[in-house]
DNA sequence: TGATAAACGAGACGGTACGTCGTGTCTTTGT
DNA sequence: ACAAAGACACGACGTACCGTCTCGTTTATCA
């Protein structure tokens, strides 16, 4: 906190950074977030503790960057397809498809432990929370906004609807069930969500 | 963890328990959850550490019980009115009223810090999460279920709707905005949620 | 320390006292003195802790009384012969015999651990040390004094010699070797001690 | 006990070691050995507990090294004269002089508490006891051996006498009186010891 | 290409908190 | 009324990590 003589980013060891990311994700997966320690990450990465403290200010920050990096890696490999949203003209079908994919992803144990840990940290640490939202959540949510706007253009969604609020009707219930273990998560559930939200609860 | 030779509950010191609850809530409020330590709680409560370890197995458990107790205290004082749900016949109005009250409560700093801390812990610790849901969340949600059933009886809600899922359309978006700082929380927002969810997004 | 409402000795449970003695000696023998605890003694004796604190003021005191009691038991069984000293007229032979017996006793593991523990405690705790000396050591040493006086009567020892000091020439070297591990202990050694001490180191 | 990954001695902080020695000796002097705690030493030395545990394995070991160091300090200051033994040709006089000096040293309160504590520990802990004997006692006793050998050369002591046993006639009685509080310690007493031991108890 | 300055691995350090154990006191319960 | 049982406040234990701070030792630009 006191002094940050601006470490020289150009001299930074790429090898160490990779090793730290790998160690952090591996440890979180193996022993859980609370038992993951900076000392443990350093030891596993074959790195001095100072090398971690030089570039990050907390365990959560390390993990967040490691996780973001993991996401980028996946995206590269997969050819970016995760950042698109289907638009077949059938809004209900498109939403259901995307939510089904999200359900599958949430169940992938590779992502589960670190993302839970980050989410928990973000609940309590507002700054980190906002960073997470901005870097991890927002890009995905933006795709919903765009798809809903497109639906408004075709008349499938009422024009006065605010897409940024409307998307929460699909996304938040799923997120909450996952975060708070308030209920089971499966394709039938997300399909139902889409139906309820699109057509409302009252008789038509 | 090793041995728990079943401490004798009848001999338990009520005074110590109260002091521990008070200290825990006070400390969490003052220095935040991560900096609240069992030693600190014990010292503040004027209690030996062992007295805490004898009856609870983790900081989170202490805080959860303290928080539950706080809720019961409030309920007693207020004469239980928190466990009822208005039924004026106008479903939209009733939902909006309850959600507005919830918004106000979420902003009460007295509840904010400990409930955030508990929620975060519950995200990561499934057992505690389920306990939280069962003891804190479920009772409130059940009131939504009943109100929605009553609306189905009067024909205000389609009969095939599952109320346990439907309620998430109102509650989860608010919860997520609060938990994950994904957006501002106010009365206009929750009013909008009720409108969108009740009448759907598609043109009627 | 604060209050000593003079517990009523007549009401004292003999059974508990015995059980405490047994437990104390057994534990000291099994786990050593430092790992012997008052809680452990109470548990093993099937006795409340308070019953120990009521009658003794420290672990060392319990052990001392237990040990004294053990000695009395042995004496009773053996018919007091331990409190006599041979007087065959041959002083050297008598001393050698007694010291050989002492060597054998010092090697009896039944006595070794507790008496070492007590001796150590006595080194550091003067009050207990004096009690030990008075109750355990003095009676034996007195026998040396008497035998040496008898030798003075027969002219075998110079009349101006102080027997209380003279006996230390035989007893202390053995005691020190045993206590401080400064050398091996056997019959040849004690025989030599007697010869050196009786006849001096200078040529005659 | 579990792991001792050989801390790097070259990186050891000399300042901390000194501070720990000083704190240990001061505390033992002020509150006595049993009330001296590792936490107390660490606090007084302004040192983390781990720094003590890293280099020593017990309170006794710390104190022993501190005491040895104290001895070395004194020796340095005094110019080593403590490691010599007078040889005036008059054996009795030389022994009396050395024993008088020993009496004075035993009464020096600066040495009394720690050396008693160490002696007591050595009684019960054989390994430490042997270390103490080897490092603290042996060097002094060796001087007696040499002086006695020299006396044998001049014919003042019978040639068949074993000096390592003979020296105990002078040293052990004094040591025992001091350790076990079995009698007063003064110059007259040690003078008497020398007379008795050199010339024997029997009439010449 | 060799000097020099940084980042690096290693890990000792002063600390804080952990969870456990034992102390000596006090209270409850059964007899 | 006493003794067993054991909860309690307290304090030390020995361990694990924290974040800071040297230590040499690579590296990797610039002189």
pLDDT the model gives residue D88 = 95
Tell me whether A117 touches chain B (CB under 8 Å): yes
The region of weakest confidence among B171-185, C148-162, D62-76 is D62-76
Contact map slice: C 84-113 vs D, CB within 8 A: none
Tell me whether A34 touches chain B (CB under 8 Å): yes
Chain D residues within an 8 Å CB radius of C200? 197-201, 204
Angstroms from C12 CA to nearest CA on chain D: 31
Cα separation, D101 vs D60, in Å, equals 27
| Rounded mean pLDDT, C82-98 | 91
CB contact under 8 A, A32 and B124: yes
Residue B80 has pLDDT above 90, yes or no: no
DSSP state at residue C203: -
The reply to whether the CB atom of residue D2 sits less than 7 A from any atom in nucleic acid chain F is: yes
- The tokens describing C99, both together, are 């010291």
Which of B39, C33, C168 lies closest to D201 in space, CA to CA? Answer: C168
Tell me whether D185 touches chain C (CB under 8 Å): no
Residue nearest to nucleotide F29 (CA to C1'): A11
Cα separation, D198 vs D169, in Å, equals 9
| Rounded mean pLDDT, C131-142 | 92
The reply to whether the CB atom of residue A37 sits less than 7 A from any atom in nucleic acid chain F is: yes
Indicate the pLDDT class of residue B1, thresholds 50, 70 and 90: very low
CB contact under 8 A, B121 and A121: no
CB contact under 8 A, C124 and D34: yes
Cα separation, A12 vs A16, in Å, equals 8
Question: Where do we find the tokens 């032979």?
Answer: C93
Chain B residues within an 8 Å CB radius of A124? 32-34, 116-117, 120
The reply to whether the CB atom of residue A59 sits less than 7 A from any atom in nucleic acid chain F is: yes
- The tokens describing A98, both together, are 């995307």
The reply to whether the CB atom of residue B3 sits less than 7 A from any atom in nucleic acid chain F is: no
% chain B with pLDDT above 70: 95
Residue D59, C-beta contacts closer than 8 angstroms, at least 6 positions apart: D36, D37, D38, D41
- A168 CB burial (10 A radius; 0-12, 13-18, 19+): buried
Residue nearest to nucleotide F21 (CA to C1'): A50
Q: What is the mean pLDDT of chain C?
A: 90
- CA distances in angstroms from D149 to B173, D81, D159, listed in the order given: 97, 20, 9
Contact map slice: C 133-152 vs D, CB within 8 A: 133, 137, 148
Q: Backbone phi, then psi, for D182, in 5-degree steps?
A: -90, 0
Residue C81 has pLDDT above 60, yes or no: no
Residue D100, C-beta contacts closer than 8 angstroms, at least 6 positions apart: D187, D190, D191
**Angle between helix A163-180 and helix B163-180 axes, rounded to 10 deg:** 100
CB contact under 8 A, C197 and D201: yes
Distance between the alpha carbon (CA) of A39 and the C1' atom of E17, Å = 17
Q: Backbone phi, then psi, for C188, in 5-degree steps?
A: -60, -40
Chain D residues within an 8 Å CB radius of C169? 169, 173, 193, 196-197, 201
Contact C24, C38 (CB under 8 A): no
Which of B174, B151, B175 lies closest to B163 in space, CA to CA? Answer: B151
Chain D residues within an 8 Å CB radius of C156? 202
User: What pLDDT digit, counting tens, does each position of D170-201 carry?
Assistant: 999 999 999 999 999 999 999 999 999 999 99
Tell me whether C164 touches chain D (CB under 8 Å): yes
Q: Which residue of B has its CA nearest to A33?
A: B124
Residue B160, C-beta contacts closer than 8 angstroms, at least 6 positions apart: none
CB contact under 8 A, C179 and D123: yes
| Rounded mean pLDDT, A56-69 | 95
Contact B149, B163 (CB under 8 A): yes
User: What pLDDT digit, counting tens, does each position of A7-31 carry?
Assistant: 888 889 999 999 999 999 999 999 9
pLDDT the model gives residue D4 = 55
The reply to whether the CB atom of residue D58 sits less than 7 A from any atom in nucleic acid chain F is: yes
Render D81-125 in DSSP notation, one character per residue: GGG-----S-HHHHHHHHHHHHHHHHH-HHHHHHHHHHHHHHHH-
Is the dihedral angle over the CA atoms C178, C183, C184, C185 positive or is it negative? negative
Taking the C1' atom of every nucleotide in all shown strands and the CA of C37, the nearest one is E22
User: What pLDDT digit, counting tens, does each position of B97-153 carry?
Assistant: 999 999 999 998 888 889 999 999 999 989 899 999 999 999 999 999 999 999 999
DSSP state at residue A90: -
User: What pLDDT digit, counting tens, does each position of A72-89 carry?
Assistant: 887 777 765 557 899 999
Contact A140, A73 (CB under 8 A): no
């Amino acid at each position: 906190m006191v002094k940050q003589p601006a470490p020289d980013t150009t001299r930074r060891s790429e090898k160490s950074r990779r090793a730290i990311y790998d160690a952090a994700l591996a440890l979180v997966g193996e022993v859980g977030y609370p038992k993951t320690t900076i000392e443990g990450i350093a030891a596993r990465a074959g790195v001095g503790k100072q090398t971690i403290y030089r570039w990050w200010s907390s365990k959560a920050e390390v993990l967040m960057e490691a996780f973001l990096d993991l996401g980028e890696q996946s995206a590269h490999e997969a050819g970016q397809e995760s950042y698109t949203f289907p638009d077949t003209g059938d809004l209900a079908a498109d939403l259901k498809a995307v939510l089904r994919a999200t359900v599958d992803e949430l169940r992938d144990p590779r992502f589960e432990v670190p993302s839970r840990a980050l989410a928990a940290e973000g609940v309590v640490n507002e700054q980190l929370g906002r960073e997470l939202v901005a870097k991890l959540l927002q890009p995905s949510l933006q795709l919903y906004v765009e798809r809903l706007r497109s639906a408004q253009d075709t008349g499938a969604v009422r024009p006065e609807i605010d897409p940024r609020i409307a998307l929460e009707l699909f996304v938040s219930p799923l997120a909450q069930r996952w975060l708070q273990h308030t209920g089971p998560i499966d394709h039938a559930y997300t399909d139902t969500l889409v139906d309820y939200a699109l057509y409302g609860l009252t008789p038509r």
